[in-house]
Amino acid sequence: MFRPTSGCIWNSFQSSGKRHLVITGGRGAGKTTLLWALCPEILPGVTTWAVPGEGVYLRDNPTGRTVPIGIFDPNLPGTEGKMRPVPEGFSGLGREALISAGEAPGEWASVDEIGYLESKAEDYLSALARLGERKRLILAVRKPDGALPEEIARDPFTLDLDRPYGSYGCVILASGLGKRFGGNKLTAPFRGKPLIHWALDATEGIFARRVVVTRSQEAAALCRERGVEVIFHDLSYRSDTVRLGVSQMEDLDGCLFCPADQPLLRRETVAALALGAVNGPEVILRPAFEDRPGAPVLFPKWAFPELKNLPQGTGGGYLARRYAHRVRFLPVEDPRELEDVDTREDLARLSLL
3-state secondary structure 145-193: CCCCCHHHHCCCEEEECCCCCCCCEEEEEECCCCCCCCCCHHHCEECCE
Supply the pTM of this predicted model: 0.93
Q: What is the pLDDT of residues 304-335, one digit of tens each?
A: 999 999 999 999 999 999 999 999 999 999 99
pLDDT score of 203 more than 90 = yes
Report the pLDDT value the prediction gives residue 1, as an integer from 0 to 100: 65
- Non-local CB neighbours of 9 within 8 Å, separated by 6+ positions: 21, 34, 38, 159, 272, 275
pLDDT score of 79 more than 70 = no
For domain 19-154, give the fold: Rossmann fold (3.40.50)
Q: Delimit the CATH 3.90.550.10 region(s) of the chain.
A: 169-351
- In the DSSP assignment, the letter for residue 63 is T
Q: What b-and-e string marks burial along 301-323, b requiring 16 or more CB atoms within 10 Å of the CB?
A: bebbeebeebeeeebbebbbeee
**Better-scored residue on pLDDT, 27 or 122:** 122
pLDDT score of 80 more than 80 = no
Q: What is the pLDDT of residues 220-271, one digit of tens each?
A: 999 999 999 999 999 989 999 999 999 999 999 999 999 999 999 999 999 9
The rounded percent of the chain whose pLDDT value lies above 90 is 83
**Better-scored residue on pLDDT, 147 or 140:** 140
Residue 83: band (very low, low, confident or very high) from pLDDT cuts 50, 70, 90: confident
Give the integer Cα–Cα distance in Å for 257 and 216.
18
Average pLDDT, the chain: 94
Calculate mean pLDDT across residues 107-132: 93
Give residue 152's Cα distance to chain centre: 20
pLDDT score of 78 more than 80 = no
Residue 143: band (very low, low, confident or very high) from pLDDT cuts 50, 70, 90: confident
Give residue 124's Cα distance to chain centre: 30
Q: Delimit the CATH 3.40.50.300 region(s) of the chain.
A: 19-154
Report the pLDDT value the prediction gives residue 74, as an integer from 0 to 100: 87
Report the pLDDT value the prediction gives residue 315, as an integer from 0 to 100: 94
CATH class, range 169-351:
alpha beta
Report the pLDDT value the prediction gives residue 144, as an integer from 0 to 100: 66
For residue 344, the tally of other CB atoms under 10 A from its CB is 14
Report the pLDDT value the prediction gives residue 131, as an integer from 0 to 100: 97
Give the integer Cα–Cα distance in Å for 297 and 262.
13
For 183-252, where are the E strands, in sequence order?
189-190, 193-194, 209-214, 229-232
